[in-house]
Amino acid sequence: MNERLKELRRQATLVESYTTNDGTVAEGKHVDLEKFAELIVRECMDIAKRTGDNFGSANPDVLAGGQGAAFCVYQNIKNTFGVE
């Protein structure tokens, strides 16, 4: 898992206190999967937005060698999440 996904997982991790059977207070952590998924989707939306915004720039590298916008968004999402 790449660093960005680890950061999103950290943001979606909840720490909860609870009382054990012997009366002591303990903490437990778990990942809120719905929140984790929402953070990933928001990140993908931000990538698409930034990619679209970059098409207004004079930077020819943004066009990824003449490929279309969808390819650029795909590559940016792939690179951000380290998906093969």
Kind plus residue range of the DSSP H or E element containing 27: strand 25-31
pLDDT the model gives residue 54: 67
pLDDT (tens digit, 9 = 90+) per residue, 35-66? 999 899 888 878 877 776 666 555 555 555 55
Residue numbers of the domain that contains 15: 3-81
Model's pTM, two decimal places? 0.63
Enumerate the H helices of 1-84 as residue ranges. Answer: 3-11, 33-54, 69-81
Confidence bin at 29 (pLDDT 50/70/90): very high
Q: Is the pLDDT of residue 12 over 80?
A: yes
In sequence order, the 6+-apart residues with CB closer than 8 A to the CB of 82 are: 1, 2, 4, 5
Which residue has tokens 């002591």? Answer: 24
pLDDT the model gives residue 76: 83
The total of structural domains in the chain comes to 1
